[in-house]
Copies of this chain bind each other. A is one copy, B any other.
Amino acid sequence: MRASQLPLFTSKNDPNDAQVASHRLLSRAGFIRKQGSGLYAYLPFGDMVHRKIEQIVREEMNRFGGVEVSLPVITPAELWQESGRWDLMGKEMMRMQDRHEVGYALGPTHEEAMTDVARSFLQSYKQLPINLYQIGRKYRDEIRPRYGLIRCREFVMKDAYSFHADDKSLDETYQKMREAYRSIFERCGLKTIPVEADSGNMGGSGSEEFMVASSIGEETLLLCSDEACGYRSNQEKTAFIENPSRGGSRSAQDETAEDFETGALKTIEEVAKLTGQSPRDFIKAVIFEDAQNIFLCFVQGDRELSEIKMKNLAGATDYWLASEETINALTGAEPGYAGPVGIKFKDGEKVSKKTLRVFFDRHLKGRSGLITGANKTGYHTKNVAEGRDFTIAEGHDLIVSHAGDICPQCKKAELTETRGIEVGHIFKLGKKYSEKMKLSVLDPNGKPLTPTMGCYGIGVGRTMATSVEQNHDERGIIWHKNLTPFVIYLVSLAKAESEIAFVDQLYATLQAKGISVYLDDRDERAGVKFNDAELVGFPFIVTVGKKSIESGKLEVKLRRSGEKLELSETELVQLVMG
C-alpha cells in the first residue's frame, strides 16, 4: 500500500491520559484512537495488527480442536438469572433494557450464553467432548479505565467453552488449551508466564493465567526462587507458608492468660510497643458480614488477611466490613478488642439474627504466648495459648503471601515477586453452569449425564498492547514479524520522474515476491518520514533516493537493532524472506 491510498494517522503528541508506553505509542503511531472513556477505535494499522492476532488465535484454536461460532453480544438477563450471576456480577457488568423493558447484559463473558447454545443441540455423550469458541466484543464497566487497550471497557476476546462427559476428558482439553495458548503467544512473539490463579466468581476447580511480566501490571505474581521447582502463582491464589527465619516469637504454655488494660491503644503496633512483644505474637481479628452471616477471621498479627481466600472459603459474594453495632453485639466491646478468648458466641450461633462463622488461619494452630483483644473495651489478653484458651478445630489458608515467604510447592525455597498483566486465563469450570442451566445428555446406558465444562479466554487487544509494552524504544514501536501491518516501510526520497519510476519498480518487485510493503510516497521532508517509520515500527526501513539509485545499494535499517545495511535489491529480498 501507498501512503496516498492508506494514509498515516501519526501524531506528534501523546494523549493527555497516556501513562504507559503501549497507550502512548499506539495512539501517537495512529493505531488506535480514544472515542470515550475506555472506548477505542482501531485505525487502519491497528485493525491490521488486531486481525493478525485474531487469525493466529483462530488457527491455533482450530488446530487444537476448537470449533468457531459467534454469539450475540447482548445476552438476555434471564440466562444470567438462571446461573445466579445477574446479581453477582455487580456494576462491572453493563446492562440495558430494550423498548419492552426487558433486561440484557452486554456480555463480559459467555458461560451462560454458550451453555444455552449447548443445551439446544447436545443430546448424547457421543457429541462430547466439544470445544466451542468465538472471537468477539466483550464489555466491562471498569471504575477506572486506563492504560489504553490494557484496561478498557469494550474489547475483543477469544472465549472458548468446552463440554465433557468426565473430568479426564476435561483435563485433556484443558491441557490442549494450555498448548494452544503457549503456541499463540509464541507466534505473537510475546513472553508469557503461566501462573496458578484464583477462579473468582467463575466457579470451578482449577485455573491458570497467562501473564506478561510488566511493571505496570495490576497483578502480583509469586515465583519460586528455585527454578527447578518452577512454582508460579498469582499472589491472590498463593498458599501462605511462613518463612522459619521470621519465627522466634514467644512461647509460654505455662503462664496463665490474663487481661491487661490498654486504654486507648487499639492497633497491634501500639499494643506491641506497650508490651514489647512482636506483632507476630498477636492475633488479628477481621470481621465481615453479609445479609445472613458474620465472618469472624483470625490471622497472625503481622500479616494481612486475604479477602479473596476468606471469600472463597466462606462462599461469600456480597459482603462488607462488619458495622460497629454488629461487633458490639458479638464481642460486647467497641471495635478493636475482638479476640478468640471468652467471646460470647460460638461458631454457628446466631448473633443479631445472623449466623456467626469463625475462621482461623492455620499458622495460629499450636501457638502460645499470644496477645489478643479481650472482648472488653480498653483491654487485651496476654499469654493466650491455642488448645487451652481457645481451640482451632480446622486451620485455613487465610493470609496474603509475599516475596520472602516459603514456596508452597517445594516447601523449601523462598518466593520472589513480580508484576504482571493477564492476557489469557483458562478455567476448569466443573458443573456449575451445566447443573444450574440443566444441560444434560444421555450417557452410554441411556441415563442422564451432566457435562463438566472448561472455559478459556484470551484478550486480543491486550495481547496487542502488551506486545508493544515488551517491544518498543524511545523512537516508537517494534513489531514482531507475525503482527506487523507491513514488513517493509519504504521511504521514498524520489524527486525526479526517473527516480519515482525506480521506486515504483522496486515497490512492484518486492510485492511480487510476496513481501508486504508500505510505500511512504508523501510530499514530506525526509526527517518526517524517518520519524514516522520508526514510530509505526515495521521491521525493515528501506530508504530510496537519488544516492541509492546511483550506487545500486538500498539503505536498510533494522528497526529492532538499529543496525544499518547497504544491500542490493536481491540481498534485501533474501534478508526479508530468510
Q: Nearest CB to that of A142 among chain B residues?
A: B99
Q: Is A566 positioned at the interface, with any CB of B under 8 Å from its CB?
A: no
Q: Judging by beta carbons under 8 Å apart, are A42 and B70 in contact?
A: yes
User: Which chain A residues numbered 114 to 154 have a C-beta less than 8 Å away from chain B?
Assistant: 116-117, 120-121, 126-127, 130, 134, 137, 139, 141, 143, 153-154
Q: A39-B74, A73-B154, A99-B143 are in contact. Are A7 and B68 (CB under 8 A)?
A: no
Indicate which residue in B42, B76, B121 contacts A9 across the interface (CB closer than 8 Å): B121
A-B contacts, 23 of them at CB < 8 A, read A5-B67, A7-B127, A11-B121, A33-B117, A35-B113, A36-B72, A36-B75, A36-B104, A39-B72, A39-B74, A39-B76, A41-B72, A41-B113, A43-B121, A44-B69, A46-B69, A46-B70, A47-B70, A50-B70, A73-B73, A73-B154, A74-B106, A98-B141
Within the complex, the shortest CB–CB distance from A265 to chain B, in Å, comes to: 40
**Residue of A11, A65, A68, A69 with highest tally of chain B CB at under 10 A:** A69
Q: A67-B6, A67-B44 are in contact. Are A35 and B72 (CB under 8 A)?
A: yes
Q: Judging by beta carbons under 8 Å apart, are A96 and B99 in contact?
A: no
Q: Judging by beta carbons under 8 Å apart, are A76 and B41 in contact?
A: no
Distance of A116 Cα from B44 Cα, bound (Å) = 15
Within the complex, the shortest CB–CB distance from A82 to chain B, in Å, comes to: 13
Q: Nearest CB to that of A102 among chain B residues?
A: B37
Q: Is A560 positioned at the interface, with any CB of B under 8 Å from its CB?
A: no
Question: Residues of A within 8 Å of B, CB-based: how many?
Answer: 57
Q: Judging by beta carbons under 8 Å apart, are A154 and B72 in contact?
A: yes
Within the complex, the shortest CB–CB distance from A102 to chain B, in Å, comes to: 8
Q: Nearest CB to that of A128 among chain B residues?
A: B7
User: Which chain A residues numbered 57 to 84 have a C-beta less than 8 Å away from chain B?
Assistant: 65, 67-76, 79
Q: A70-B47, A73-B137 are in contact. Are A106 and B96 (CB under 8 A)?
A: yes
Q: Is A91 positioned at the interface, with any CB of B under 8 Å from its CB?
A: yes
Q: Nearest CB to that of A154 among chain B residues?
A: B72
Within the complex, the shortest CB–CB distance from A487 to chain B, in Å, comes to: 18
- Interface residues as binary, A504-541 with B (CB distance below 8 Å gives 1, 0 otherwise): 00000000000000000001000000000000000000
Q: A72-B41, A73-B137 are in contact. Are A35 and B117 (CB under 8 A)?
A: yes
Q: A99-B141, A143-B99 are in contact. Are A74 and B154 (CB under 8 A)?
A: yes
Indicate which residue in B7, B39, B71 contacts A35 across the interface (CB closer than 8 Å): B71
8 further A-B contacts with Cβ under 8 Å, apart from A7-B130, A74-B154, A91-B99, are A9-B121, A33-B121, A35-B116, A36-B74, A39-B76, A44-B69, A106-B106, A126-B523
Chain B neighbourhood of A74, CB < 8 A? 36, 39, 94, 106, 139, 153-154
Q: Judging by beta carbons under 8 Å apart, are B67 and A42 in contact?
A: no
Within the complex, the shortest CB–CB distance from A272 to chain B, in Å, comes to: 41
Q: Judging by beta carbons under 8 Å apart, are A117 and B70 in contact?
A: no
Q: Is A40 positioned at the interface, with any CB of B under 8 Å from its CB?
A: yes
Q: A39-B74, A116-B35 are in contact. Are A121 and B69 (CB under 8 A)?
A: no
Q: Is A367 positioned at the interface, with any CB of B under 8 Å from its CB?
A: no
Chain B neighbourhood of A40, CB < 8 A? 72
Within the complex, the shortest CB–CB distance from A538 to chain B, in Å, comes to: 17
Q: Judging by beta carbons under 8 Å apart, are B72 and A44 in contact?
A: no
Distance of A48 Cα from B70 Cα, bound (Å) = 10
Q: Is A420 positioned at the interface, with any CB of B under 8 Å from its CB?
A: no
- Interface residues as binary, A154-188 with B (CB distance below 8 Å gives 1, 0 otherwise): 10000000000000000000000000000000000
Chain B neighbourhood of A451, CB < 8 A? none
Within the complex, the shortest CB–CB distance from A254 to chain B, in Å, comes to: 58
Q: Nearest CB to that of A152 among chain B residues?
A: B72
Q: Is A336 positioned at the interface, with any CB of B under 8 Å from its CB?
A: no
Q: Judging by beta carbons under 8 Å apart, are B41 and A69 in contact?
A: yes
Q: Nearest CB to that of A122 among chain B residues?
A: B7
Within the complex, the shortest CB–CB distance from A31 to chain B, in Å, comes to: 10
Distance of A70 Cα from B5 Cα, bound (Å) = 18
Q: Is A457 positioned at the interface, with any CB of B under 8 Å from its CB?
A: no
Indicate which residue in B36, B68, B98, B154 contacts A47 across the interface (CB closer than 8 Å): B68
Distance of A96 Cα from B74 Cα, bound (Å) = 12
Q: Is A30 positioned at the interface, with any CB of B under 8 Å from its CB?
A: yes
Indicate which residue in B48, B73, B96 contacts A96 across the interface (CB closer than 8 Å): B96
Q: Is A191 positioned at the interface, with any CB of B under 8 Å from its CB?
A: no
Q: Is A266 positioned at the interface, with any CB of B under 8 Å from its CB?
A: no
Q: Nearest CB to that of A6 among chain B residues?
A: B67
Top 5 A-B residue pairs of the complex, sorted by shortest distance between their CB atoms? A96-B96, A39-B72, A42-B70, A36-B76, A41-B71
Within the complex, the shortest CB–CB distance from A532 to chain B, in Å, comes to: 13
Distance of A71 Cα from B48 Cα, bound (Å) = 13
Q: Is A303 positioned at the interface, with any CB of B under 8 Å from its CB?
A: no
Chain B neighbourhood of A141, CB < 8 A? 98-99
**Residue of A39, A75, A154 with highest tally of chain B CB at under 10 A:** A39
Within the complex, the shortest CB–CB distance from A72 to chain B, in Å, comes to: 4
Q: Judging by beta carbons under 8 Å apart, are A121 and B39 in contact?
A: no
Chain B neighbourhood of A95, CB < 8 A? 96
Distance of A42 Cα from B136 Cα, bound (Å) = 12
Chain B neighbourhood of A67, CB < 8 A? 5-7, 44
Q: Nearest CB to that of A72 among chain B residues?
A: B39
Q: Nearest CB to that of A45 among chain B residues?
A: B69
Distance of A76 Cα from B65 Cα, bound (Å) = 39
